[in-house]
Amino acid sequence: MTQEQCTHRNNVQSSEKPQVYKVGIYGWRKRCLYFFVLLLMILILINLALTIWILKVMNFTIDGMGNLRITEKGLKVEGDSEFLKPLYAKEIQSKPGRPLFLQSSRNVTVNIVNSNNQILTQLVTGSSGFKARGKMFEVKSTSGKLLFSADEQEVVVGAERLRVMGAEGAVFSKSVETPHVRAEPFKELRLESPTRSLLMEAPKGIQILAEAGDIQTICRNELRLESKDGEISLDARRIRLMRLPEGKASTSSSSSGTRQTVYEVCVCPNGRLFLSQAGTESTCQISNSVCL
């Protein structure tokens, strides 16, 4: 190899120096990246602060949220609670010694349904009143004694006394079965049927007793006392038969003189009573013109 060739080769190798390339983000890209990282950190801090604030305001704890506590027996709510949709629960009870209030702006409805979602028992309380629907309704005392019961067949009042405070009393469209009907002390008892008949029946007798007052029976047409197998007894110191008709004696048998003030009670064959002027003997046959 000549000297010129070696010199040229050395010059070529000296001119081919290695080039260094810088790897990374520089300039405006670097500044944008730092800006987005800083903005993300700010959002994370704001989100963390808001989360802590919500937990503080809503009172989130391990046991529950706010007035709602999660216990082994279920949910426990302290204070007033508002339910915007139906509530399904097995049991609802208040704290020991505290009352339970159910309040609604329209009505409160309690439904008991079966497996087919058919209503068996319903309880509705609203502005129009109190309604209950079911096969049977019972009211019992604290000792378990039946006070009131109602079903499709009968209505039973188990209390010792049934008191009706209305001015018009009690109105029954059909029959009433009871062993005792009594008015309050110093009050009058009145049995009335304004447009129909009043019938009292008892297989072993009917007793009407007024210990400190009078018994008055008033009718428009006829008052009939009938005993099929026994007798009718009127036991009193004085018995008054008011407005009985007076029999007129024939002119041949009538005596002139002062008017008689003593009469005898006569009975016609049809059972009708009338008065006849008393004489030394019976005058019923003479004055029996009433029986005709």
Q: What is the per-residue pLDDT across 117-136, written as a single tens digit (0 to 9) for each?
A: 888 899 898 888 888 888 88
For the chain, the structural domain boundaries read 22-77, 106-159, 260-291
Predicted local confidence at residue 247, as pLDDT: 76
Give the burial string for 24-63 (b: 16+ CB within 10 Å, else e): eeeeeeeeeeeeeeeeeeeeeeeeeeeeeeeeeeeeeeee
Residue percentage of the chain with pLDDT more than 90: 7
Digit-coded pLDDT (tens) for 13-26: 555 556 655 666 77
Nearest to 266 by CA among 254, 252, 249, 251: 249
Predicted local confidence at residue 36, as pLDDT: 93
DSSP H or E run through 56:
helix 28-57
Predicted local confidence at residue 35, as pLDDT: 92
Confidence of residue 38 (pLDDT cuts 50, 70, 90): very high
Query: How far is the CA of 118 from the CAs of 7, 114, 142, 159, in angstroms?
Result: 111, 6, 32, 34
Residue percentage of the chain with pLDDT more than 70: 87
Confidence of residue 113 (pLDDT cuts 50, 70, 90): confident
Digit-coded pLDDT (tens) for 248-292: 765 554 554 556 678 888 888 888 888 888 877 888 877 777 787
Q: Report which of residues 22 and 197 the model is more confident about.
A: 197
Predicted local confidence at residue 9, as pLDDT: 58
Q: Which of 75-84, 148-157, 212-221 has the highest mean pLDDT?
A: 148-157
Nearest to 181 by CA among 204, 158, 152, 210: 210
Q: Which of 17-21, 60-64, 137-141, 273-277 has the highest mean pLDDT?
A: 137-141
Side chain identity at residue 261, one-letter code: T
Query: How far is the CA of 73 from the CAs of 114, 156, 229, in angstroms?
Result: 25, 39, 73
Q: Output the pTM of the full model.
A: 0.42
Q: Tell me: pLDDT of 196 over 60.
A: yes
- Calculate mean pLDDT across residues 214-218: 79
DSSP string, 5-29: HHHHHHHHHHH-PPP----S--THH
3-state helix, strand, coil in the chain (%, to 5): 15, 20, 65
The encoded tokens of residue 206 equal 């009917």
Query: How far is the CA of 200 from the CAs of 177, 178, 191, 208, 221, in angstroms?
Result: 10, 11, 10, 11, 18
- Calculate mean pLDDT across residues 65-79: 76
Nearest to 108 by CA among 87, 80, 135, 89: 87
- Calculate mean pLDDT across residues 155-172: 79
Distance CA 99, CA 102 (A): 10
DSSP H or E run through 65:
strand 64-65
